[in-house]
Amino acid sequence: MSGADAAILAAVIVLFLISIVLAMAETAFTRMSRIRALSLEEEGRKGAHRLARMLEKPEQTLNVLLLLVLVSQLTSASLLGALLERSFGGAGLFIGLVIQILLYFVIGEVAPKTYAIQNPDRAALHVSGSSGRSRTSRRSVSSRAGSSAWPTCSSPGRASSKDRS
């Protein structure tokens, strides 16, 4: 394997890893509500402030994520096809296609999206830039969300005594 082939293979691996994170981000983002993000921010969770900002205009964030997924997957497939075509000829393109479909479907799409569905808070905070700063909001979640009419709940599905009267 030449130095150029090693560089192409490294790029394919990096693009594959990026695609995994983007797939998790897409699912976590679509499962997260702005109210929940504001609640996480109020708790002082890392990345919650940025997540809440991203959820202010979800269509913009989701479109960027989808574009990045598409670019990373198409670029990776093209590079892998070119790499394998040099080694195996026309069959290399087919081998690359099969490898890409299996790896991207099972490892690059299903696994991270399943994780994001099972752990939406953790996944959304992770992909929103949770490494680094922690911010605590001084304003209440209901006032930041634009409504103070949300009932307070003592447990899931049950309104508190002040809401029942």
Q: Note the pLDDT of residue 18.
A: 93
Q: Note the pLDDT of residue 12.
A: 93
Is there a contact between 131 and 50 (Cβ–Cβ < 8 Å)?
no
Q: Note the pLDDT of residue 30.
A: 87
pLDDT in tens, 78-108: 999 889 998 898 898 888 888 888 888 888 8
Neighbours of 108 (CB within 10 A): 26
Q: What residues form DSSP beta bridges with 158?
A: 155
Report how far residue 137's alpha carbon sits from residue 99's, in angstroms, rounded to the nearest whole number: 46
pLDDT in tens, 18-70: 999 998 989 888 888 888 889 988 988 888 888 888 888 888 888 999 999 99
Report how far residue 74's alpha carbon sits from residue 124's, in angstroms, rounded to the nearest whole number: 25
The predicted model scores a pTM of 0.67
Q: Which residues contact 75 (CB under 8 A, 6 or more apart)?
A: 11, 15
Q: Is the pLDDT of residue 8 over 60?
A: yes
At 154 the three-state DSSP class reads strand
Note the helical H segments in the chain.
3-31, 34-42, 48-54, 58-88, 90-102, 111-118, 120-127, 141-144, 161-164
